[in-house]
Amino acid sequence: MLHQVKESRGYKSDADLTADELKVLCEKFKVKVKEALGNEFPDDAREQLWGGIGAVFASWNGRRAVSYRRIEGIPDEWGTAVNVQAMVYGNMGDSSATGVAFTRNPANGDNHFYGEWLVNAQGEDVVAGIRTPNPLNEATKGEQNKHLPSLETAMPQVYKELDAIRARLEKHYRDMQDIEFTIQEGRLWMLQCRVGKRTGTAALNMAMDMVEERLITKSEAVMRVAPAQLDELLHPIVDPAAEKSAAVLAKGLPAGPGGATGQIVFTAADAVLWAKGGKTVILVREETNPEDVEGMRAAVGILTSRGGMTSHAALVARGWGKCCIVGAGGISVDAGRKVMKAGGREFREGDKFTLNGTRGYVYEGALAMIDATENPRFQAFMRYVDQFRRLKVRTNADTPDDAAKARGFGAEGIGLFRTEHMFYGKNSEEPLFRLRKMIISHDERERRAALDELYPYVKKDIKATLEVMDGLPVTIRLLDPPLHEFVPKREEERQKLARALNISLNDLNDRADDLHESNPMMGHRGVRLGVTYPEITEMQVRAILESTVELVKEGKRIMPEIMVPVVGIREELDDQKAIVDRIYQEVCAKYGVKRIDYMYGTMIEIPRAALTAGKIAQTAEFFSYGTNDLTQMGFGFSRDDIGGFVPAYVEKRILPADPFNILDQEGIGELIDIGIRRGRATRPKLKVGICGEHGGEPSSVEFCHRVGMDYVSCSPFRVPIARLAAAQAAIREAANAKPVKDDAAKAKGARRGRPKGSKNKPKAAGRPGRPKGSKSRPKAVGRAVKKIVSKMAKKARIKAGKKRR
Amino acid sequence: MLHQVKESRGYKSDADLTADELKVLCEKFKVKVKEALGNEFPDDAREQLWGGIGAVFASWNGRRAVSYRRIEGIPDEWGTAVNVQAMVYGNMGDSSATGVAFTRNPANGDNHFYGEWLVNAQGEDVVAGIRTPNPLNEATKGEQNKHLPSLETAMPQVYKELDAIRARLEKHYRDMQDIEFTIQEGRLWMLQCRVGKRTGTAALNMAMDMVEERLITKSEAVMRVAPAQLDELLHPIVDPAAEKSAAVLAKGLPAGPGGATGQIVFTAADAVLWAKGGKTVILVREETNPEDVEGMRAAVGILTSRGGMTSHAALVARGWGKCCIVGAGGISVDAGRKVMKAGGREFREGDKFTLNGTRGYVYEGALAMIDATENPRFQAFMRYVDQFRRLKVRTNADTPDDAAKARGFGAEGIGLFRTEHMFYGKNSEEPLFRLRKMIISHDERERRAALDELYPYVKKDIKATLEVMDGLPVTIRLLDPPLHEFVPKREEERQKLARALNISLNDLNDRADDLHESNPMMGHRGVRLGVTYPEITEMQVRAILESTVELVKEGKRIMPEIMVPVVGIREELDDQKAIVDRIYQEVCAKYGVKRIDYMYGTMIEIPRAALTAGKIAQTAEFFSYGTNDLTQMGFGFSRDDIGGFVPAYVEKRILPADPFNILDQEGIGELIDIGIRRGRATRPKLKVGICGEHGGEPSSVEFCHRVGMDYVSCSPFRVPIARLAAAQAAIREAANAKPVKDDAAKAKGARRGRPKGSKNKPKAAGRPGRPKGSKSRPKAVGRAVKKIVSKMAKKARIKAGKKRR
């Protein structure tokens, strides 16, 4: 209704409305309130205040707040507080103003006072993105806002006072602050300050700067970058070469760093839908609001035509380290028709665009992207990180290329080399065909013949990977998946296979049917294949040992670790060890060597293996936790089939998160803990690691540290994240070693709910998914809450038709 | 070769051969030995002796011995001993003889001296079944052998001496003895005695007799019947009415009790093959030998035309409690042509026959069978049993009929009533169709409508079962299996369903496809259905509570226990409890009652549930271990898919037995133990039971006793077995509570390999699968061993051409 009045009168600002117009509007509001709520709008100020207080409390269970908590992993039981205080007003004429500032640049970390303000306005106007705000000072003006007046020039005395407060706050809090202020008739009021959200790049740069400024220690610097933020630094940026030759379609404010390329959509719902369909989308909005949060999450980039660096879109994107451009005035968005105009042309849903969120440039089409890890500041930060961590970080790599890339990210070995993955990728046709011949073999003779054909491919891959990792350990897992996974589905491929095997298609189909299983995840796979078809194990072990001998003879330092998957019974491991020993003798004899150094160990991914780890460690020299399968068996959740119920579980808070993303420390973690304690009771120097996907998830890495693992292993891109998480775990552990003083910390520890019987209790250390150091909770929620209070208050003021002092 | 000579000369006995014939035969033997072994037969007596000793040791790893151990569950590492001693000879003329005897009748337990002997023969001749032996005394002569001379009349002095020894031995050993003796030129020599094998009927009768004779205590009597033997008493016998009107085709010795009806086969291999094909077979042989053991196992009954009560067939069948008739002289078997003649007619492989093993009668065709549990001796024995056990025994029953039958077997409640089983059996067409409508429903509205239609069927079944169990607790499990299990596979049924739902067949197929899962065992089932479709839980809970109120109003004592399946997370149980509470209020209001007594609990069948049992017990009032699924998840073994590797695991001794038959105490048992301890730490009075199939397996029942469960639940026929196993566990525990004296017992306890961390260690108690009291080991193997020694010795004697004194 306010918007309608302003539009009909041609007003730009709320302050343009006359008192009479406001009176008329208030009557309309009152009618609307009665219509919507069934009650008269209260005239009593206390009643209004209680209404406002109630609204804040109620907002905790609003759809948006709940959705926000789901995304951020904030527990429902935390609740919210209500702060009742006197108001000051920035909308009392041209000597009044309001603003939001950061003590340093939250986008890139630059040590400049950075912010936005509006004259004759309330805070709501700055963050809502309705008016494009003015820059705080001259130094931080950019292309987009150089024509607008800065506070520094408009109100130099007030700016000076504010700048002094900035310095005091940073010195006091030893961190970048997010400040809200109001100027009421020339007098500066500080509304609040809090540790400011920042991009990963900014977090890293500020942390490094503050160490140099002697404001914080190295360990504090390491704690200042959330592992998830590091992710952002590892994400691609627009290739500068490609950018140079492309024409900028529109410019906006660089609200979230990095590059993004994708198809544009115009509603949050579309963004979610398209992303679910596997598409990469950029969400384009005039401005965003909390209803858009899920769509913003689903998009790789966000573009708005309105709003400033502190607008909703900018704040949210920065919190997530997501590429974002706001206030791109050159584009106009028509969400209803799902089109946007830019450079005099019209674009539709599905058109491809590229954003450079670091510069604020919008390009038509998909530009090339490149890595961002060559940044020397990043390298220096990671050197700090490595000074603190105890856990080694390895990588899961299945090809020599992956292995080389992971070394670049700082991997200290390969924790999981999956023999079978050579059959999935490109150039896999020949080996895959030979593997299929082996699988469909009818007896040992046929199978041995097929394995002989397969051998050169397997050996070549293993040898090349071992060579790349010269000097570092490489864990090679023997064949894991059920054989039927590799049987061709298409008739023409079956025909080809049948011809090669000199059998009929019917015969082949029969053999394939024999391999069918009701629950293949718990079927004939892993070591069970090795026990029933020892010749498969023989072939793989021979490839590993021969590769090792040949490379060692070339002067390389090769450290292979033979890992048996899906073990649940110690005797399985003994059975396979007998094969390894036999092949070892044969290879030694063939090459005329006396010994070949290798380790023999097992995955721990079957619950029974964890429970009987004391026996298994009699044979195994190392354990590697396969937490994907351990989560499947431990929960009885088939990862392929959880779609029908796990989303409902997370929704209903039966589970705090998908346990395949964030390790379930209470149940699956208990199995891990039992396994490590029992294994080390048998073999004190047992090497223990993790190679499930949790190995790169920060809260899970912290758990691995606490239970005393030697290393984590994760995908190459997650190696730096795991290194940081490991360092933070070590720093946090050292901090926790000091006596705990406050009850809240104790309560938090207790909440982990460790069963009573378990010994060797790890130190209490926060909830999974949220490192203790992270500070985003009360602020993020506070903003939504404050907005509601502010709205209620505004309505009350408007109704009253006067402004109180 | 011996047989050829005898046949060509028309000799019946080995003793008929002349010295010259023996000399010629020996030369032939020597040629054959050289041909087979490549060495001359040694002339040196010591060398012969060492050969014999070596052969005994080697026999431990012979195919037959290995196969026997697999069947009997005897560990490979036990090994064998060799006993070297001077020989006596029963084949030194007509004043010499040899015999085998039991101090009581091993087939039915009668307190008569029972045995067989042969004049001028060695022990081998008696047990090999080549000559039909004579009865020991007049009292035990039967139809078959009344014309043959008894030892009592032929050598009265020797018989008297033997009878006195019988009395001394029984008094000393306080158990029935199996005796071997030889009479050398009128003088009696005792070769060995051991506790005799017996049928279940005999074991029971002897135990009851010996209590009455004050030879043993009641608790000893309870220990004298192996739970597996009880099985035999529960097996059917030929219906006397049917038998009266049938003509006896042939008569033989009643070597193994009970009745059997099936198709005849003539080789052990065929017996195995046919049985695998799902057929019920009777193995017919001229005589059996150790090579036939697997075939005998596979058959429901055994029939031989030769041999006596101590022949191989009789001994083996009795050990297993299997129906067996031996020495049926009226039939002649031609195994080569796979036919047998009887009553002047020829019968072929596949023809149906019936055996009455208790009387030794053979009938053509399949006669009717009846239960054998009405035996008052059996009832009295079970009353002894119930005096000793602490564990309650319930039954798994899905229908009012099953429930009634189980009460008859002594069930003290229902431990598992599977709601879904009403959709499997006969008369299930209507409810199944309505269930399918519910499953294929597209939204909650459709689903609720289908559930309303289903409700009367579910309530009727539940109410009738509760009524039958008046006064006893009934655990009702909510819907467990994945829904797609109930979707019709056949097109015509899908058509019918589509019409009923007013949708197209394509739509129906789509909905069915949506339900498809990769690993349904770990998919959308159990409580996961209840969480995602609360209306399904509502319907079931309503049926339980309404039935209860209605029956209580009729004055019945109804104790329903609502059990939630597939729980892994305490919050799942809370989610369902909220539904139960809501329906409870509704039902109370509807019937105007203030309270309805029921318990609320959960299956523990997911490893995570066992590990977090401390939390789960905050909500659950009882635990029921679902050891089938717990074994599946704990091992990562899909029960439907283990055929490809578990047989190889048992063969290679990676597993001692199929863990779905015999509970894996080391791994799965550890989970159970952890769950009970943690659950009871939270709720000291937590009721704990087991409802997996292990609940009726004796060694598993003993485990359940040791870890402190309150009850076991098993199928109706296994209830008496579980009662006995529970009593034996209690008696054994009391015995073990006394200080352990011998090292062997200690070593045995240690072998269980309980992980070090675990507390509350159950008392050491033998290996799974073999109750400590069972005595079959050294004897059974001893027989095979002795046979080889005896053969070697015989050859040596024959070669030497003289008989030593």
Torsional sign, CA B527, B531, B532, B533: positive
Rounded to a whole number, what is the distance in Å from the CA of B523 to chain A's nearest CA? Answer: 5
And the tokens for A47?
Answer: 């009643």
Q: Which residue does chain A place closest to B483, by CA atoms?
A: A644
Question: CB contact, 8 Å: B531 with chain A?
Answer: yes
Which of A531, A613, A654 has the CB atom closest to B531's CB atom? Answer: A654
Q: What is the pLDDT of residue B455?
A: 94
CB contacts, 8 Å: A575 with chain B: 652, 654
CB contacts, 8 Å: A616 with chain B: none
Q: What is the pLDDT of residue A373?
A: 67
**Which residues, 6 or more positions from A776, have their beta carbon under 8 angstroms from its beta carbon?**
A72, A197, A319
**Cβ A520–B641 below 8 Å, yes or no?**
yes
And the tokens for B778?
Answer: 């050294």
Which pLDDT band, with edges at 50, 70 and 90, does A761 fall under? very low
Alpha carbon distance A616, A68 (integer Å): 45
- What is the residue-wise DSSP string for A749-774? HHHT---TT--SPPPP---TTS-TT-
**Which residues, 6 or more positions from B354, have their beta carbon under 8 angstroms from its beta carbon?**
B238, B246, B259, B260, B261, B362, B363, B364, B365, B366, B367
Q: What is the pLDDT of residue B427?
A: 60
Angle at B184 between CA B179 and CA B190, to 5 degrees: 25
Question: CB contact, 8 Å: A607 with chain B?
Answer: yes
User: For A184, which DSSP code?
Assistant: E
**For residues B689-712, b (16+ Cβ closer than 10 Å) or e, as one string?**
bbbbbbbbbbbbbbbbbbbebbbb
CB contacts, 8 Å: A532 with chain B: 644-645, 648
Tell me the three state secondary structure of residue B631: helix
CB contacts, 8 Å: A479 with chain B: none
Alpha carbon distance A629, A638 (integer Å): 9
**Cβ A524–B645 below 8 Å, yes or no?**
yes
Alpha carbon distance B122, A309 (integer Å): 107
User: Which B residues, 264 through 293, put their C-beta within 8 Å of a C-beta on chain A?
Assistant: none
Question: CB contact, 8 Å: B638 with chain A?
Answer: yes
Alpha carbon distance B242, B245 (integer Å): 6
- Pick among B641, B668, B676 to test the A interface (most A CBs inside 10 A): B641
Q: ipTM of this model? A: 0.76
CB contacts, 8 Å: B679 with chain A: none
Single out the residue of A266, A303, A298 nearest to residue A279, CA to CA. Answer: A298
Rounded to a whole number, what is the distance in Å from the CA of B660 to chain A's nearest CA? Answer: 14
Which of B629, B637, B753 has the CB atom closest to A615's CB atom? Answer: B753
Query: What are the tens digits of pLDDT across the range A455-486?
Result: 999 999 999 999 999 989 999 999 998 888 88
Query: What are the tens digits of pLDDT across the range A427-457?
Result: 567 788 888 888 888 888 989 998 999 999 9
CB contacts, 8 Å: A761 with chain B: none
Question: CB contact, 8 Å: B674 with chain A?
Answer: yes
Round the average pLDDT of chain A to a whole number and report it: 86
Alpha carbon distance A235, A216 (integer Å): 27
Which parts of chain B sit beneath pLDDT 70? 128-130, 143-144, 310, 319, 372-373, 424-428, 738-805
Residue type, A533: Y
Please tell me which residue in B193, B324, B691, B704 is annotated as part of the active site.
B691
**Cβ B636–A566 below 8 Å, yes or no?**
yes
**Cβ B633–A532 below 8 Å, yes or no?**
no
Which of B531, B637, B664 has the CB atom closest to A649's CB atom? Answer: B531
Alpha carbon distance B686, B676 (integer Å): 9
Q: What is the pLDDT of residue B647?
A: 86
Integer-rounded Cα radius of gyration of chain A: 31
Asked if residues B68 and B59 have their Cβ atoms less than 8 Å apart, the reply is no
CB contacts, 8 Å: B671 with chain A: 607, 611
Alpha carbon distance A751, A766 (integer Å): 9
In this structure, how many other beta carbons lie within 10 angstroms of the beta carbon of residue B468?
20
Please determine, for residue A753, whether its predicted confidence score (pLDDT) is greater than 50.
Answer: no
Query: What are the tens digits of pLDDT across the range A587-601?
Result: 999 999 999 999 999
Asked if residues B748 and B766 have their Cβ atoms less than 8 Å apart, the reply is yes
Q: What is the value of pTM for the model shown?
A: 0.77
Phi, psi of B390 (to 5 degrees): -100, -35
Which pLDDT band, with edges at 50, 70 and 90, does A190 fall under? very high
Q: What is the pLDDT of residue B726?
A: 97
Between residues B620 and A488, the one the model is more confident about: B620
Single out the residue of B235, B612, B723 nearest to residue A654, CA to CA. Answer: B612
Q: What is the pLDDT of residue A737?
A: 79
Asked if residues A501 and A512 have their Cβ atoms less than 8 Å apart, the reply is no
Active site residues of A: 312, 691
> Which residue reads 């305490």 in tokens?
B570
Alpha carbon distance A616, A578 (integer Å): 15
**Cβ A571–B670 below 8 Å, yes or no?**
no
Rounded to a whole number, what is the distance in Å from the CA of A431 to chain B's nearest CA? Answer: 25
Q: Which residue does chain A place closest to B517, by CA atoms?
A: A641
Alpha carbon distance A250, A529 (integer Å): 59
Tell me the three state secondary structure of residue A84: coil
Between residues B590 and A305, the one the model is more confident about: B590
Q: Give A64: exposed, middle or buried? Use CB within 10 Å, 0-12, 13-18, 19+.
A: middle
Alpha carbon distance A723, A395 (integer Å): 11
CB contacts, 8 Å: A524 with chain B: 641, 644-645
Please determine, for residue A156, whether its predicted confidence score (pLDDT) is greater than 80.
Answer: yes
Question: CB contact, 8 Å: A608 with chain B?
Answer: yes
**Cβ B653–A571 below 8 Å, yes or no?**
yes
Q: What is the largest CA-CA distance in chain A?
A: 102
Question: CB contact, 8 Å: B29 with chain A?
Answer: no
User: Which B residues, 537 through 576, put their C-beta within 8 Å of a C-beta on chain A?
Assistant: 566, 568-569, 571-572, 575
**Is B323 in the active site?**
no
* Range in A336-345, A504-513, A686-695, A774-783 the model is least confident about: A774-783
Between residues A179 and B786, the one the model is more confident about: A179
Which pLDDT band, with edges at 50, 70 and 90, does A425 fall under? low
**Cβ A670–B571 below 8 Å, yes or no?**
no
**Which residues, 6 or more positions from A299, have their beta carbon under 8 angstroms from its beta carbon?**
A262, A265, A271, A275, A281, A282, A283, A322
Q: What is the pLDDT of residue B425?
A: 56
In this structure, how many other beta carbons lie within 10 angstroms of the beta carbon of residue A4?
10
Q: What is the pLDDT of residue A355?
A: 95
Between residues A783 and A296, the one the model is more confident about: A296
- Pick among A76, A77, A527, A528 to test the B interface (most B CBs inside 10 A): A528
Please determine, for residue A751, whether its predicted confidence score (pLDDT) is greater than 50.
Answer: no
Size of interface A-B (CB pairs under 8 A): 205
Q: Which residue does chain A place closest to B631, by CA atoms?
A: A608
**Cβ A521–B522 below 8 Å, yes or no?**
yes
User: Which B residues, 738 through 797, put their C-beta within 8 Å of a C-beta on chain A?
Assistant: 753, 755-757, 759
Rounded to a whole number, what is the distance in Å from the CA of A612 to chain B's nearest CA? Answer: 6
Q: Which long-range contacts (CB under 8 A, 24 or more apart) does A459-462 make?
A: A459/A542, A459/A543, A459/A546, A459/A547, A461/A399, A461/A400, A461/A419, A461/A422, A462/A417, A462/A419, A462/A543, A462/A544, A462/A547
**Cβ B522–A611 below 8 Å, yes or no?**
no
Rounded average pLDDT over A384-392: 97
- Pick among B611, B751, B754 to test the A interface (most A CBs inside 10 A): B611
- Pick among B645, B673, B751 to test the A interface (most A CBs inside 10 A): B645
Alpha carbon distance B25, A62 (integer Å): 102
User: Which A residues, 639 through 668, put their C-beta within 8 Å of a C-beta on chain B?
Assistant: 640-642, 644-645, 648-649, 652-655, 664, 666-668
Q: What is the pLDDT of residue B402?
A: 83
User: Which A residues, 573 through 602, put their C-beta within 8 Å of a C-beta on chain B?
Assistant: 575
**Cβ A608–B667 below 8 Å, yes or no?**
yes
Q: What is the pLDDT of residue B791?
A: 45
